[in-house]
Structure 1
Amino acid sequence: MLDQGAFDTTDGMTGFEIELNLIDDDARPAMRNAEVLAQLSDPLFQTELGRFNIELNARPRSIAGRGLADYENDLLESLGRAAAKSDSGLVMIGMLPTLTAEHLVLENLSDNERYRLLNNEMAGARGEQFRLDIHGVERLQSVSNSIAPEAACTSVQFHLQVPPEKFDRYWNASQAIAGVQVAVGANSPFLHGRRLWAETRIALFQQATDTRPEELKAQGVRPRVWFGERWITSVFDLFEENVKFFGPLLPFLSDEDPIETLRAGGVPELSELRLHNGTVYRWNRPVYDVAGGRPHLRVENRVLPSGPTVIDLLANAAFYFGLVRQLAEEERPIWSRLSFAAARDNFHAGAVGGIEATVFWPGRGEIGVAELVRSELLPKAHAGLDRYGVEPAVRDRLLSVIDERCRLGRNGASWQTESVRQAESRGLSRDEALHAMLLRYSELHRTNEPVHGWPL
């Protein structure tokens, strides 16, 4: 299909998936997603892995003109409607700080056959308990018999449709900036009462779904949550790696013969390829899909946590879409000057340190993320949004949120951390401080004021 030029080459179509947490009046996780979805009766809201999670899928659109502003209005309307209909609180946050190990058990997986089968296959492949050992400001060690701890990770995924002949450039650019993205957007500093990484979701997702027993790790078998190991020259490289390095987990077969469908002039669904791709958890995932009778390719950017607000989420999206577009179009691409190992190290540094992280950047050496963003990357994001035809007022409003976040050194993770520190200094226990912080967070995130301006 790549050789035949079969793909849609439309530029700038995008989509969002936003994962949400359900809480009760005491800020504890509410295991009620089936009931909440029944109350909402809205196809834009879907189930997620844990019974305290749901997902909101925004309607795809171009970001040209006022597309990003239209996203904001639609998301605010959908969330407002959901809050009015639901008797559980909805919170956009990378991880619920009030979750405990007792919440993250097999019984609290959503009532969905696919999730149960996925758990059985991954646990069977592992052959032993899943172990967590996260070293951060504090340390967390725990074990689980299931993949349920993964449900603590609530994220946002940005989808960007790209022409197949440019897919490698957009994926490489996405990988190159992943560390900066996660640093600026970090919003997950607490798990099981411990302060860990600024974006602890990254470490938890990697460890909670690792199907490799120790002997396979020692042999160099790749983890299913994977940054990757090289720059690519075609989207084919990624699907080829999926088949080469990872065994299928879900044994579902389609009746379609894709070669015969293609020969008959049709568009194959490639169901097995897509299902398998969904169980290889790349931070930037290739997506094959069919819309309007034509196949297309997307980069699914998966590095960021949910929240803190819709305006913060849209600012993160504008920064990503604009910066990736500009880097992908540059004559001397960033990946020709940045080693893949350095990009991977930046990703780790950004997840651990958040907005205070230091990363390596060509021509700048070791540099603070906030300084790099303000001095070099925001102008590139500005130029990239211009290439997409984003209305200047929309562009400037959203990118100014990123600028102020970096100027003040405050994102969701730093706000949460400082709020808990202040509460503890007033004599509250860690558990009490986390509950008080989450209740305040839940109140403030409904205002749609960007997190850098939230009071402590």
Structure 2
Amino acid sequence: MGTDITACAFTGADRRRFRRKVADCMDALERMLRDGTFADVHASPEPQLGMEIEFNLVRDDMSPAMSNLEVLQAIDDHAVFQTELGQFNVEMNVEPGPLSGDATLDVEESLRESLRRADDRMHLFDAQLVMIGMLPTLELDHLGRDRITANPRYEALNEQIFAARGEDIELELDGVPLPGTDVAERLRADTNSVVPEAACTSLQLHLRLAPDDFAPHWNAAQCLAGVQVALAANSPFLAGKALWHETRIPLFAQATDTRPLELKNQGVRPRVWFGERWIESPLDLFEENARYFTALLPEVSDADPLADLAEGRIPALRELQMHNGTIYRWNRPVYDVSDGQAHLRIENRVLPAGPTVLDTMANAAFYYGALRAVVDADIPLWRRMTFDAAHENLRLAAEFGLDARLYWPDVGWVGADELVLRRLLPLADAGLASFGLSARARDRYLGIIEGRCLNRRTGAAWQRHNVAARERAGEDRRVALTGMLRDYVAAMTDGRPVHEWDVARSES
């Protein structure tokens, strides 16, 4: 969830000071980009696969386990597992690995081992980790303010979002009929907390880039966002309702929205944002963040970024990082300092967690490979595709998953599965080969993407078919969701990719 803070309340003076410090940070960043302060990044090792995975916690009865602090204490690996906003969440940081040779296979095995070790240590608390985009047994009464993890940042974030909004948040979500039915379900609810955001558990992929390479990679990531979501959708249920294939996308946007209706009508930008244009420089994104969005956590440090630069030090730009961390772009620009060197990276945030370790690795490999190939193309894809088309692709993919029809240059409107099979899988393979990833690793991960498209089975599609089958057999919705989740956890633990999972049982 970002940098820790010490204050829970802020004054108008705090906000003015913070705005000035963000402006100083922007001046410092502009000078660093102009003066080549990032020059050493060009000479950095080959790009690495870096990821964060958010998990839900469930009890043996498949209800949410509100015990993340106890679980983290039992796991006792604070470098890998950390808190998240909701008491039923934890986050895992996966040690980055190179995108060359067989190194991704080592990342995969390291991820499995970390999960095995965590699982062995947490059973005393009647809790287990579930890799899923949205926990289907979550009810609205699990999402109140009393479910916020005890942490000043989370508490302050909740207070500031509601202070900015001035009223409760309205959740308005429409569904897609389950297989075999023509009934579109709806969820309408008011909430007085941002905990519904915690229902949205994701896979976040990081790519460190030289400044000159940042803009084309960000533009390419925007082009691919819809395809990523169509391939990986895994969030079809919330509060007993069958909603979008990737409900996490609209729910996250609504749960963090600081705008009452009147500001929406004025065209004020949302904090969960796809953006509105292709960019020429990473500075474009940071400038938009500073210009358009009020501070939610305006805690000011004593550091002077311009003085640091003048004296030959790399500035932390803490206020810029803090502000940036409360604007939830689906492809977020990140400034950071590691090993004494400043760097920029793109944090890709569109993907849900799960369903398995193998599916997670496949989703990552497809993203990195397709991204590299799109950037390396002779004619940039974003020169042949409107920004609005890329945004609409994301919405359609979130609603319909692999059933979506997406727009693609030179093709027009095409089924997401056909687009991947005919166009993007060969590109992803070529991109991963350019990174130096072995044929063995490429075949392993991209074969899973191919299998999903051929079987038309994402995590969301499997969940929806399972629940529909159970309801046809006479189960009510709550019983069907619990039984489905139990099947899901068993298949996740078995480890086979989701396109190989058995079709749902019809019996109770």
Preserved contact between residue 14 and residue 161 of structure 1 (Cα < 8 Å): no
Deviations, residues 34-84 of structure 1 (Å, cap 9, x unaligned): 000000110200000100000000012222112211111111000000100
**Whole-angstrom distance in 2 between the partners of 1:322 and 1:2:** 27
Unmatched 5+ stretches in structure 2: 1-31, 177-184, 504-508
Counting only pairs closer than 5 Å after superposition, residues 308-387 of structure 1 correspond to structure 2 as: 308-387=355-434
SS at match of 2:155: helix
Counting only pairs closer than 5 Å after superposition, residues 102-113 of structure 1 correspond to structure 2 as: 102-113=141-152
Aligned equivalent of 1:241, options 279, 288, 291: 288
Q: Does 1:115 align with 2:151?
A: no
Give 1:56's aligned residue: 92
Q: TM-score, normalised by structure 1?
A: 0.99
Preserved contact between residue 355 and residue 370 of structure 1 (Cα < 8 Å): yes
Unmatched 5+ stretches in structure 1: none
> Which amino acid in the other structure matches residue 151 of structure 2?
N
TM-fit CA distance, 1:13: 2.2
TM-fit CA distance, 1:15: 1.0
**Whole-angstrom distance in 2 between the partners of 1:62 and 1:290:** 19
> Which amino acid in the other structure matches residue 33 of structure 1?
N
**Whole-angstrom distance in 2 between the partners of 1:285 and 1:333:** 20
Give 2:227's aligned residue: 180
Counting only pairs closer than 5 Å after superposition, residues 426-445 of structure 1 correspond to structure 2 as: 426-445=473-492
**Whole-angstrom distance in 2 between the partners of 1:296 and 1:391:** 27
Give 2:462's aligned residue: 415
> Which amino acid in the other structure matches residue 493 of structure 2?
R
Preserved contact between residue 49 and residue 115 of structure 1 (Cα < 8 Å): yes
TM-fit CA distance, 1:291: 1.2
Which consecutive segments of 4 or more residues in structure 1 shift more than 6 A?
none
**Whole-angstrom distance in 1 between the partners of 2:221 and 2:451:** 23
Aligned equivalent of 1:402, options 433, 438, 449: 449
Q: Does 1:5 align with 2:36?
A: yes
SS at match of 2:406: strand
**Whole-angstrom distance in 1 between the partners of 2:97 and 2:306:** 31
**Whole-angstrom distance in 2 between the partners of 1:377 and 1:68:** 20
**Whole-angstrom distance in 1 between the partners of 2:340 and 2:106:** 26
Counting only pairs closer than 5 Å after superposition, residues 180-199 of structure 1 correspond to structure 2 as: 180-199=227-246
Give 1:76's aligned residue: 112
TM-fit CA distance, 1:263: 1.4
**Whole-angstrom distance in 1 between the partners of 2:356 and 2:210:** 31
TM-fit CA distance, 1:165: 0.1
**Whole-angstrom distance in 1 between the partners of 2:495 and 2:315:** 42
Q: Does 1:32 align with 2:79?
A: no
TM-fit CA distance, 1:246: 0.3
Give 2:122's aligned residue: 86
Give 1:452's aligned residue: 499
SS at match of 2:344: strand
Identity of aligned residues (%): 52
Aligned-pair RMSD on alpha carbons? 0.7
Give 1:263's aligned residue: 310
SS at match of 1:359: strand
Deviations, residues 141-179 of structure 1 (Å, cap 9, x unaligned): 101011111110000100011111010000000000100
Q: Does 1:17 align with 2:52?
A: yes
SS at match of 1:59: strand
**Whole-angstrom distance in 2 between the partners of 1:255 and 1:139:** 49
TM-fit CA distance, 1:446: 1.0
> Which amino acid in the other structure matches residue 97 of structure 2?
R
> Which amino acid in the other structure matches residue 110 of structure 2?
D
Deviations, residues 3-24 of structure 1 (Å, cap 9, x unaligned): 1111112341231100001000
**Whole-angstrom distance in 2 between the partners of 1:236 and 1:251:** 21
Give 1:149's aligned residue: 196
